[in-house]
Amino acid sequence: MSYNTFGTMFRVTTWGESHGPAIGCVIDGAPPLMPLSEADIQPFLDRRRPGQSRFTTQRQEPDHVQILSGVFEGQTTGTPIALLIENVDQRSRDYSSIADQFRPGHADLTYIWKYGIRDPRGGGRSSARETAMRVAAGAIARKVLGNSIKIRGALIQLGTQSIDRARFDWNQTEQNAFFCPDAIAAASWAEQLDAVRKAGSSIGAIVEIIAEGVPPGLGAPVYGKLDADLASAMMSINAVKGVELGDGFATAGLRGEQNADEMRMNSNGSVHFLSNHAGGVLGGISTGQPIIVRFAVKPTSSLLTPLRTVDASGTDVEIKTTGRHDPCVGIRAVPVGEAMMACVLADHLLRHRAQCGVRPITPVLPSKD
Amino acid sequence: MSYNTFGTMFRVTTWGESHGPAIGCVIDGAPPLMPLSEADIQPFLDRRRPGQSRFTTQRQEPDHVQILSGVFEGQTTGTPIALLIENVDQRSRDYSSIADQFRPGHADLTYIWKYGIRDPRGGGRSSARETAMRVAAGAIARKVLGNSIKIRGALIQLGTQSIDRARFDWNQTEQNAFFCPDAIAAASWAEQLDAVRKAGSSIGAIVEIIAEGVPPGLGAPVYGKLDADLASAMMSINAVKGVELGDGFATAGLRGEQNADEMRMNSNGSVHFLSNHAGGVLGGISTGQPIIVRFAVKPTSSLLTPLRTVDASGTDVEIKTTGRHDPCVGIRAVPVGEAMMACVLADHLLRHRAQCGVRPITPVLPSKD
Amino acid sequence: MSYNTFGTMFRVTTWGESHGPAIGCVIDGAPPLMPLSEADIQPFLDRRRPGQSRFTTQRQEPDHVQILSGVFEGQTTGTPIALLIENVDQRSRDYSSIADQFRPGHADLTYIWKYGIRDPRGGGRSSARETAMRVAAGAIARKVLGNSIKIRGALIQLGTQSIDRARFDWNQTEQNAFFCPDAIAAASWAEQLDAVRKAGSSIGAIVEIIAEGVPPGLGAPVYGKLDADLASAMMSINAVKGVELGDGFATAGLRGEQNADEMRMNSNGSVHFLSNHAGGVLGGISTGQPIIVRFAVKPTSSLLTPLRTVDASGTDVEIKTTGRHDPCVGIRAVPVGEAMMACVLADHLLRHRAQCGVRPITPVLPSKD
Amino acid sequence: MSYNTFGTMFRVTTWGESHGPAIGCVIDGAPPLMPLSEADIQPFLDRRRPGQSRFTTQRQEPDHVQILSGVFEGQTTGTPIALLIENVDQRSRDYSSIADQFRPGHADLTYIWKYGIRDPRGGGRSSARETAMRVAAGAIARKVLGNSIKIRGALIQLGTQSIDRARFDWNQTEQNAFFCPDAIAAASWAEQLDAVRKAGSSIGAIVEIIAEGVPPGLGAPVYGKLDADLASAMMSINAVKGVELGDGFATAGLRGEQNADEMRMNSNGSVHFLSNHAGGVLGGISTGQPIIVRFAVKPTSSLLTPLRTVDASGTDVEIKTTGRHDPCVGIRAVPVGEAMMACVLADHLLRHRAQCGVRPITPVLPSKD
């Protein structure tokens, strides 16, 4: 079965193909009385929009979002919010040449094996175009979370080049085409990615998303764990092959003493963690510390280099993908990852309120830092 | 809200605390007419059972499973299957000394912050004891999958020591206490873990689970992706901090050409992939290749070394955990990871059958190798 | 929380308000490879469309449906199908006069109490306009069910006037403005409803929906019962206050012998039921007999007669509803009820296939009559 | 697929067969910190327990409930609550004589057609024995609702004999074997049911459940309607064939003026409804008035009178059911209906809190009467 919905209380359903007339989503369960207009959503879409630098696909999509329901006189009404974006630059050229060939690394063949049919125009439903609606939903999720929760993302590795953590500066992420927090790395990446792009190749990346100000207590044992839902949300983004929280895979190499997040009382009666190896989640429940998620994005599979594949007639062929594509799809995954973080947290905020209501936190308070 | 259920069609609900009278689960949606008895489940529980070597907790639990419903004269009836395991060695000693202290790295404090209450006896619901029921459910999931799908797991890294892939031998995994496929690594690990254990410390690990014989077409766009569900399933296991498929995080450092799984026709008309960087999933749908999942397990947080923490009165204290614990909880996570793989695949097998029925795979066939 | 989705495998999510720019729905989980175009859906919408006789609201809506996704070259692809209908005749006149008054029998006040806000234009989300999307979804559900399952509905009571069962003729339902299967009753109802309409009043009705050709085995114990899902589906239609299956409330007055559906073998080895008091469902599972559901629709609450109510300032006022309304909303509920039957059956057909696959029915066959 | 779970936030999963070793349920999502012990649940089970008068089945089951998880030192912990009742009087006599015959009006044949197998001992999963767990879950749901919400049920019709509304007295429901609120009707029913019982026959009934003190705002458009969920909940009870809210089916015969629940301001600023035709729900959302649900229970299908049926070999046979059975299963459906009302309301209370939080009700208040 196809499941194009995620979330339990804050529920997002997306629809649409890369080259259909439009894409859209329905957000169900958003609280009423939140101020909301297209202007709250558009800036986030603009960050993800293609064609903004030479490092992303040259497809020109204004991604102009329309709210079709669920808002009255500038406020949410509690009923489903429908969003729609028209596809403008879908270039309805002849796609028959690739319709019968299965691009390696794409979902072409798996869709055929599952469904016996696929929409070959621009990747159809498997196109990263779908992620525009995740970003739109994320903008509404941020409204649910309120201003005290801040969610930001950065590209921390391009190919094999990592940033230097000592130079991490959130302001830098808005100064380059990579959402890179390290100005020096960004300059180096530009050079590298130019080479990749000109070679008709592509390259992988690692994205880090951090949510600050998340109250403790979100998430739940044992299959509604906050980290399990985050893992699912991030892994559902196109081309993602790995997800980790906090120290993630590195914890495998640690001793218990190295990994323990010890605690001490602050003078104001709150509890201060001395480290955050856990990435803000213990036992599936938020600790109040920053929630830190990283995910790996594989290199785009669309390449100018000919690759060996087969076609629908069962013949060995070679394929080159000449269309417009991102040389590093990881870049535009940054706002998508932020959006997924926002949606998961919004859902868990409402879920927590359902079961536990609004109760004073006792007996010791979490630290606000 | 608490969600102790996972799966859509093959649904598993678990309950129970470490030191309560019993733990159990309900499996809903299993097909009828499957031969099933306790003897089908017990061997998998025995693999996970504590106290089988000096490298796991010395708690003695026979983990004798009882089927309470859903089976008639040796066959499943299609109605819910209830399983129950009595807790035998829960040692109802005085736990008041730790009831008011929050162990670093445990869910003690997050449970309190979420619920305002916790069962402190042996970790209550957050104990890895819950995973016994996952293993039991996995045994039934294997029945759903049938014999042509083979699911196996191995510990491939203990601390910083990885296995040598050239020595990978599934038979070895049953010859040592670590589910280690590399006999030489296993010997080395025994030494290392003895040192860790004697020091009252703990250490992390990496587990790899491989499913072979999975038909293509399982999974679905875009939030019911097979890899997204696997990520969630593995991340929900206690102490897991990262999950990856196929080449996983390493894909970040690859060029598109390196990561592409090219294809060629076999002489019998089926399609052969020339590599499996994808780990058996493309676009969220299985390719028919082996499904390869790895996850990182952090070191157990229960240590003899005193750690700084706070207590319920808001006082700085030091804590030592003197109870019975696994020096490397990753070891017993191997059968648990296998079980989660089985449950996710069984669920997706039924979900696929719902939407797509049983249709001949066309126009090209997947390779059977 | 708001839940604007129903179904488990065949999932329908609707959105939109009476006087917003458009209404729409997303259908997720429909099988691939079904031929589908707007022409398959439009005829069902035309049956429900307002303004077709003097007995329904005079609002003029062409209800022209567009398919925005999920279909490629005339076939479903297995991905979500988005449908959209623009609101044309929403008459954006001044609604301030009624915005602050709570119409008796409407959801005006309950929406305010729940959400603190409501869209007062034409009833907003609570308008029966939403049912257009149910009808559209139902058209697709019929495709899932195939031609061997026939779903038809009729108005069997208008006010206190029932049809004469002896005159029941399905062909008649297309010959009058009431979907009435009894020509003589229809003539009488026209007279009665004219009087009601001219008096600015309204009247209730009873609708009967019958599904023939439904295979045995759909539905499941104990909270996924086919009749429980039908009850929920019908009760969710605007203005419905009661639902029954088979002999329904009349079974309360029966003795066991009178209510038993006895069985006999046919000469061809199939089982024949001698009656259908059960309405085609036993133990929550279909019997293969016709599934018979009836539901009561209350009289429209919009009346020219002044009614006592209060306004948002807490003042007693009298209210008359002068807008365009159905004097008997039960009439247009007939195609809506058919659609809900189709959606529930399609969902259960897929759910059954998930758990039980396609197995020969044994040891005795259901009768085909 | 089998779905033995209901509810979204307050989730109940039941398991077990009539003649298995035990029956049980898991309640997930109950708020933490609620005082709870077996003593809170047992009284409700005792009301439903068989064998308490000559008018119900003579099976002797103490229905002694055990809490196996989710409670620590007398308080709920927020983790799943597992309940278990051992089957004591299952009389494991030879059931082979009926195992191959399909009782009319039972689920014998539909289970076989669905699953290809059934547990014939005492009806297996389709036995009303399952409702014991509903009653147990309902006791916990009442805890969630708190003392200000009162849920009571009554049998208002036995066969064709209705109570006299003028004599309705809740106290009477505890004075007779029928939960009958009319002492005179109860006396008459005793006579009638004795005759039915002695004739080896059975008879239908109508049950009414009323919830008072329910806050306005519970429920949601358009498929999460409170009345739709109540309809589903009641219809899922064994032998129920019809459900209605408020005036229910009688509204079909009313004019709009007769059915309108007009409103007036109280002197204290709250809104008073002048009638409750709606049964406490408008637009799927509670009005604050009493919620009134009625459902029809068909006569038990187990009869001493021989009925025509077929057996598994495809032979016409006659069947008499000589086991222990309720001559009017509607009687014991009263506490079951109360429990389902409690569970649905608890679920919606939590769901409402999730989406809408705790907000002052404005601009006008509901009346408290």
Residue of C16, C72, C81 with shortest CB distance to A69: C16
C33 contact residues in B (CB cutoff 8 A):
359
Query: Do residues A293 and A340 lie in contact, with contact meaning Cβ atoms separated by under 8 Å?
Result: no
What's the mean pLDDT when you consider all of chain C? 93
Half-sphere exposure for C113 (CA within 13 Å, toward CB):
28
Closest CA to D345 of D290, D272, D274: D290
Tokens 């015969």: give the residue. Answer: D253
Name residues whose C-beta falls within 8 Å of residue B137's C-beta, 6 or more positions apart in sequence: B12, B14, B25, B27, B83, B339, B343
From B79, which residue of chain C is nearest by alpha-carbon distance? C221
CA A18/CA A7 separation, integer angstroms:
23
Half-sphere exposure for C331 (CA within 13 Å, toward CB):
29
Closest CA to B156 of B232, B244, B229: B244
For residue range B87-131, list pLDDT tens digits in order. 987 665 556 667 789 999 999 999 999 999 999 988 899 999 999
Interface of B with D in 75-104 (CB under 8 A): 75-82
> Can you list the alpha helix ranges (DSSP code H) found in chain B?
38-48, 96-99, 108-115, 131-145, 183-198, 226-235, 256-259, 333-356
Query: Do residues C150 and C197 lie in contact, with contact meaning Cβ atoms separated by under 8 Å?
Result: no
Is B356 in Cβ contact with C354 (below 8 Å)?
Answer: no
The torsion angles phi and psi of C265, rounded to 5 degrees, stand at: -75, 140
CA A172/CA A169 separation, integer angstroms:
6
Is A357 in Cβ contact with D353 (below 8 Å)?
Answer: yes
The gap between the terminal CA atoms of chain A, to the nearest Å, is: 44
A130 CA to centre of own chain? 11
Amino acid, single-letter form, for residue D82:
A
Query: Do residues C45 and C140 lie in contact, with contact meaning Cβ atoms separated by under 8 Å?
Result: no
For residue range A311-331, list pLDDT tens digits in order. 999 999 999 877 667 899 999
For residue range D75-95, list pLDDT tens digits in order. 999 999 999 999 987 665 556
* Residue C91 confidence (pLDDT): 63
CA D259/CA C105 separation, integer angstroms:
8
SS3 of residue C159 by DSSP: coil
Lowest mean pLDDT, pick from B30-34, C114-118, C121-125, D248-252: C121-125
CA A350/CA A7 separation, integer angstroms:
10
B359 contact residues in C (CB cutoff 8 A):
33
For residue range B261-284, list pLDDT tens digits in order. 999 999 998 999 999 999 999 999
Tokens 């429920």: give the residue. Answer: D219
Whole-number Cα distances in Å, B338 to A251, B136, D253, D333: 21, 11, 61, 44
Is A72 in Cβ contact with C124 (below 8 Å)?
Answer: yes
SS3 of residue C253 by DSSP: helix
Cα distance from A29 to chain D (closest Cα, Å)?
A: 6
Tokens 């339902």: give the residue. Answer: C173
Pick the more confident residue, D38 or D61: D38
* Residue B1 confidence (pLDDT): 44
* Residue D326 confidence (pLDDT): 83
Query: Do residues A134 and A45 lie in contact, with contact meaning Cβ atoms separated by under 8 Å?
Result: no
SS3 of residue B90 by DSSP: coil
For residue range A116-169, list pLDDT tens digits in order. 999 998 889 999 999 999 999 999 999 999 999 999 999 999 999 999 999 999
Pick the more confident residue, C68 or C2: C68
CA C247/CA C231 separation, integer angstroms:
14
Half-sphere exposure for A69 (CA within 13 Å, toward CB):
29
D32 contact residues in B (CB cutoff 8 A):
114-117
**How wide is the angle at C-alpha B77 spanned by C-alphas C277 and C268, nearest 5°?**
50
C116 contact residues in D (CB cutoff 8 A):
356, 359, 362
If you average pLDDT over residues C314-332, what whole number do you get?
88
Cα distance from A238 to chain C (closest Cα, Å)?
A: 16
Closest CA to D285 of D228, D243, D368, D366: D228
B255 token code pair? 């060029």
SS3 of residue B326 by DSSP: coil
CA A60/CA A56 separation, integer angstroms:
11
The b/e string for A41-69 (b: 16+ C-beta within 10 A; e otherwise) is bbebbebbbbeeeebbbebebebebebbb
CA D18/CA D121 separation, integer angstroms:
7
Name residues whose C-beta falls within 8 Å of residue D165's C-beta, 6 or more positions apart in sequence: none
State the chains in contact with D (3 or more Cβ–Cβ pairs under 8 Å): A, B, C
Pick the more confident residue, D221 or A254: A254
Other C-beta atoms closer than 10 Å to the C-beta of B42 total 17
The torsion angles phi and psi of C168, rounded to 5 degrees, stand at: -60, 120
Burial class (CB in 10 A: 0-12, 13-18, 19+), A226: buried
Q: Does A306 touch chain B (CB under 8 A)?
A: no
The single-letter DSSP state of residue A178 is: T
pLDDT band at residue D1, thresholds of 50, 70 and 90? very low
Half-sphere exposure for C188 (CA within 13 Å, toward CB):
14
Burial class (CB in 10 A: 0-12, 13-18, 19+), B342: buried
Query: Do residues B226 and B286 lie in contact, with contact meaning Cβ atoms separated by under 8 Å?
Result: yes
Other C-beta atoms closer than 10 Å to the C-beta of D60 total 13
Cα distance from B282 to chain A (closest Cα, Å)?
A: 5
Percent of chain B with pLDDT strictly greater than 70:
96
Tokens 């873990």: give the residue. Answer: B193
* Residue B94 confidence (pLDDT): 55
Residue of C15, C70, C117 with shortest CB distance to A33: C117
Q: What is the DSSP secondary-structure string of A131-146?
A: HHHHHHHHHHHHHHH-
Q: Does A271 touch chain B (CB under 8 A)?
A: yes
Q: Does A280 touch chain B (CB under 8 A)?
A: no
Beta bridge partners of C75: C35, C72
Other C-beta atoms closer than 10 Å to the C-beta of B275 total 15
SS3 of residue D244 by DSSP: strand
Other C-beta atoms closer than 10 Å to the C-beta of C82 total 32
State the chains in contact with C (3 or more Cβ–Cβ pairs under 8 Å): A, B, D
CA D27/CA D6 separation, integer angstroms:
10
The b/e string for B206-224 (b: 16+ C-beta within 10 A; e otherwise) is bbbbbbeebbbbbbbbbbb
SS3 of residue B167 by DSSP: helix
* Residue A1 confidence (pLDDT): 44
Amino acid, single-letter form, for residue C307:
L
CA D284/CA C125 separation, integer angstroms:
12
The single-letter DSSP state of residue A298 is: P
Lowest mean pLDDT, pick from A218-222, C262-266, D325-329: D325-329
Name residues whose C-beta falls within 8 Å of residue D280's C-beta, 6 or more positions apart in sequence: D211, D214, D245, D246, D286, D287, D288, D289, D290, D291, D292
* Residue B323 confidence (pLDDT): 66
Is A125 in Cβ contact with C20 (below 8 Å)?
Answer: no
Amino acid, single-letter form, for residue A309:
T
Q: Does A154 touch chain C (CB under 8 A)?
A: no
Cis amide bond preceding A363, omega within 30: yes
Q: Does B290 touch chain A (CB under 8 A)?
A: no
- Compute the CA torsion angle C106, C111, C116, C117 (nearest 10 deg): -80
Percent of chain A with pLDDT strictly greater than 90:
83
CA A64/CA A178 separation, integer angstroms:
23
For residue range C281-301, list pLDDT tens digits in order. 999 999 999 999 999 999 988
CA C275/CA C277 separation, integer angstroms:
6
Query: Do residues B210 and B292 lie in contact, with contact meaning Cβ atoms separated by under 8 Å?
Result: yes
A5 contact residues in C (CB cutoff 8 A):
5, 11, 13, 28
Residue of B32, B79, B355 with shortest CB distance to C350: B355
* Residue D127 confidence (pLDDT): 92
If you average pLDDT over residues B175-197, what whole number do you get?
96
The reply to whether ipTM tops 0.90 is: yes
Name residues whose C-beta falls within 8 Å of residue B249's C-beta, 6 or more positions apart in sequence: A206, A241, A242, A244, A249, A296, B242
Residue of D4, D23, D80 with shortest CB distance to B15: D80
The gap between the terminal CA atoms of chain C, to the nearest Å, is: 44
pLDDT above 80 (res A97): no
- Which helix (H) or strand (E) segment is B80 a member of? none
pLDDT above 50 (res A344): yes
Other C-beta atoms closer than 10 Å to the C-beta of A282 total 30
CA D141/CA D344 separation, integer angstroms:
8
Tokens 């007996």: give the residue. Answer: A363
Length of chain B: 369
Q: Does D355 touch chain A (CB under 8 A)?
A: yes
